[in-house]
Amino acid sequence: MADARKATTIGELRKSGYRILPVREEIRKNLMARMAEGKPLFPGVMGYEDTVVPQVENAVLAGQDIIFLGERGQAKSRLIRSLVDFLDDETPVIRDCEINDDPFAPICLTCRNKVAEHGDDVEIDWLPKDQRYSEKLATPDISVADLIGEIDPIKVAEGRYLSDELTIHYGLIPRANRGIFCINELPDLAERIQVGLFNLMEERDIQIRGHRVRLPLDIYVVASANPEDYTNRGRIITPLKDRYGALIRTHYPRTVEEEMSIVEQEHSRFADTDEAVIMPDYMAEIVAEFTTLARKSPDINQRSGVSVRVSIANYETLAACALRRAVRYHETQAVPRVSDLPYLIASTMGKVELETVDDGRETKVIEDLTKRAVLNVFNRLFDAADFEPLMLRFEEGLEMDAGSDVPSFAYTERLGDETALAPMINQFNIDPKKQEALFAAGVELVLDGLHLNRKLNRDKVEGKFRYRS
């Protein structure tokens, strides 16, 4: 058998014995091959292994169009774009065809005429899979012409008649023929546009204007939507809902560990930051715990959702705080601390919506969630009773100032020889003399954890936190 990949004409492709599969069969075939090999199906998508992914597998194997239903920041777009990986690396198309016609079964008039005239001598191209995906964000101003097609006035001006099929300018959907077409935020499409999708979803063809043109398109249709919009009456028409074979509900990470893994994968990276900043596990856990608590808070609008992007932005903010401090005080290591957490207000506000609008309340809600996150993480790591010797020192008159702008050596000078901090030093395996930044961060966790457990008082003095008995 000849090498199909080297074929440049329909005749050469035919002689090679190459078989062109409908897009649904192509995706099914490659999905099953990857499943049989035990390879990851959706690399980079975490927390869906036992929930969403099996549903996607079923939908693809059943050849069903899919709508992903979920709040913002639930990897809906990433899942949809990952479907491209299940297409063949390349597929043959008739050269210069606007809608990627199958060389063996062309559907547009131009290609049908070309094949009728030149037969097997018609030239072909090999279309890579990344060019077989088309995506459109639904907005109220989208027209039928954008998605389906319209009369091209330039072609009419060139002398063609309006009744001539060749005057048509194809929209996004026909141009996605033999590939995957995605509509993001489907309910935002105007109802008349939704009606225009009926034929595509059911009969697999489209009709353009008053032309007697029917294009039997080969398209895998996927969409995304927010549950609140999808279920509101009038936002999406019932017949269109009925035409999607599978509705798959996405969700936020179910555990703090999953949230931390996603943040570690997705946060921005800079060479100097990666080299200098050390993010203690407990600080990353506080970031994830904060988001988890926000998703349960009655003060936050849960219909809007609390995206994983909140965790990612907060993680990046803490790293920036640590780097800023290290640069200012010429420290070789930059480590985020509990005293950096007030800066999360800037990276959280705007990403969450309160149930009640009240000036200044948003800041108070974020501060309260931050305190609860620190308390929960501290209590998972330690028992306040472990630090009885330290609390005794405070009862004897010890006071300690902590803050985002306090250099790390100040903590070592003040508490570096403090055996009462042994539980923390041993837990985090820190050498106070050699790892001053890590020691300072650990001290702040202990002090704030004891304060939140009502073992120490904390006052705000000249921009710093002063801990005392």
pLDDT in tens, 377-425: 999 999 999 999 999 999 999 899 999 999 999 999 888 777 889 999 9
Q: Torsions phi, psi of 132, nearest 5? A: -105, 15
Tokens of 392: 């005794």
Q: What's the average model confidence in pLDDT over 43-72? A: 92
The span from the CA of 162 to the CA of 154, in Å, is: 11
> What's the pLDDT at 361?
80
> Is 48 a residue whose pLDDT tops 90?
yes
* pLDDT class of 329 with cuts at 50, 70, 90: very high
Model confidence over 78-128: pLDDT tens digits?
999 999 999 999 999 999 998 999 999 998 888 998 999 999 999 999 999
DSSP string, 115-135: HHHHGGG-BEEEEEGGGSEEE
Q: What's the average model confidence in pLDDT over 341-368? A: 85
Q: Which amino acid is at 60?
A: V
Model confidence over 222-240: pLDDT tens digits?
999 888 776 655 577 777 7
> Is 1 a residue whose pLDDT tops 50?
no
Q: Which of 64-78, 122-136, 197-211 has the lowest mean pLDDT?
A: 197-211
> Is 189 a residue whose pLDDT tops 90?
no
Model confidence over 422-448: pLDDT tens digits?
999 999 999 888 999 999 999 999 999
Q: What's the average model confidence in pLDDT over 188-194? A: 80
Strands, E, within 112-266: which ranges?
124-128, 133-137, 149-151, 168-170, 179-184, 205-207, 214-216, 219-225, 246-249
Q: What's the average model confidence in pLDDT over 321-333? A: 93
Residue 458's SS3 state is strand
Domains of the chain: 4-249 (3.40.50.300), 256-468 (no CATH)
